[in-house]
Amino acid sequence: MTAAAAVNVLPLSGNNDSATITPEGFPPPPPNQFEKADRRAITPAYFRAMGIRLLGGRAFTDRDNERSPGVVIVSRSLAERFWAGQDPVGKRLKFGRYGSASPWLAIVGVAADVRHGTLAAASRQVVYYPHAQLPTSGMELVVRTADSNPRIASALRDVIHRMDPDLPVDSVAPMTEIVRASLSDRELEFSILAAFALIAVVLAATGIYGVMTYTISQRAQEFGIRLALGASPGNIVRLVGAEGVRLTAVGTIVGLAGAWAASQVLEELLYGVGPSNPIILASAAALLALTALVACVVPSLRALRVDPLTSLRSQ
């Protein structure tokens, strides 16, 4: 075990805790309008246990308790929302609306954004506060280990039971399993899209093969005459291949234009990559172009089997 901590809401768990916040130094908002942020009660080692980077300031310590001044750590998105271009460390905010009597809390750090809802949803504004200063029930234990030994779960249960036999442990699961569970709805969508994509590739290759085969059958006499007049097999293959390359080039250009135009439809299904990512588009175009060119190989080789004498007699 390299780090252990607790949090009131685990990322990607499907739960949430949010509250109205008021940053100090800003004018009161219009009626019925207020700022909200997710609220996370954490213990000092939470960022280290979850691998969340601290972008500025400091993390909480054991000295941030009920006897010390109230402090918070804000997410980068919240810091940029109110203090863009400034150092938010030292600024203050409070939970509650503008005129509430809630105490002001000093910002002591800025943490990297974390996707708490789903991987596809944008990161939300988050305010982290020490659990010791505002105790919350229903905390979840997070543990970072050096390996993924399955016996760790039972060892954790034993440790908790020794600390308090009456403390319930609902479940123990690796974070990878929680992430996978959050993607369960998307997996079906991705599977269907992948199946249709595979069918589209097969249909494209079959279509090109059929077109090239038909073209060669219509030009059989021409190829025979060319061979009779001294054209080499390589010349015939290049002639047929050039036709396939032209079809592939036109189809690739049209396909890229269509993909670029329709990419925004898939934006909500993606995370970690833009809908018009040039690397993805180039890779897809290269794959389809390669598939199309391979579909031209067999018709090109078939052109070499044309008998020059048969072609000349038919003339």
pLDDT tens column, 24-65 = 989 888 888 888 999 999 999 999 999 999 999 999 999 999
Question: What is the reported pLDDT for 90?
Answer: 94
Query: Where is the domain boundary, 165, 182, 199?
Result: 182
Mean pLDDT of 170-187: 75
Q: Are 93 and 57 within 8 A, CB to CB?
A: no
Mean pLDDT of 88-98: 93
In which band, very low, low, confident or very high, does the pLDDT at 305 lie, cut at 50, 70 and 90?
Answer: low
Closest among 74, 37, 39 to 59, alpha carbons compared: 74
Same-domain check for residues 81 and 174: yes
Structural domain total, the chain = 2
Same-domain check for residues 190 and 178: no
List pLDDT tens digits, range 143-159: 888 777 667 777 778 88
The helix (H) or strand (E) run that includes residue 205 is helix 184-218
Same-domain check for residues 193 and 306: yes
pLDDT at 315 over 60: no
Phi, psi of 298 (to 5 degrees): -60, -50
Same-domain check for residues 55 and 112: yes
User: 3-state SS of the chain: helix, strand, coil percent to 5?
Assistant: 45, 15, 35
Residue that wins the pLDDT comparison between 300 and 214: 214
CA 158 to mean position of chain CA atoms: 36
Q: Give the total residue count for the chain.
A: 315
Query: Where is the domain boundary, 182, 201, 223?
Result: 182
Integer Cα distance of 112 and 77 in angstroms = 8
* Domain carrying residue 62: 3-182
Integer Cα distance of 200 and 209 in angstroms = 14
Same-domain check for residues 169 and 282: no
Question: What is the reported pLDDT for 303?
Answer: 61
In which band, very low, low, confident or very high, does the pLDDT at 118 lie, cut at 50, 70 and 90?
Answer: confident
Same-domain check for residues 56 and 96: yes
Question: What is the reported pLDDT for 312?
Answer: 53
Same-domain check for residues 20 and 159: yes
Query: Where is the domain boundary, 153, 182, 211?
Result: 182
pLDDT at 242 over 70: yes
Selection from 9-13, 198-202, 253-257 with the highest mean pLDDT:
9-13
Same-domain check for residues 203 and 126: no
Same-domain check for residues 163 and 20: yes
Question: What is the reported pLDDT for 257?
Answer: 77
pLDDT at 92 over 60: yes
Mean pLDDT of 222-246: 74
Selection from 1-15, 220-234, 264-278, 289-303 with the highest mean pLDDT:
1-15
Q: Are 261 and 275 within 8 A, CB to CB?
A: no
Among 10-24, 71-85, 159-173, 282-296, where is mean pLDDT lowest? 282-296
Say which residue the tokens 């959050």 belong to: 182
Residue that wins the pLDDT comparison between 107 and 151: 107
Same-domain check for residues 153 and 209: no
Same-domain check for residues 47 and 108: yes
Integer Cα distance of 297 and 302 in angstroms = 9
Same-domain check for residues 7 and 133: yes
Among 56-60, 95-99, 294-298, where is mean pLDDT lowest? 294-298
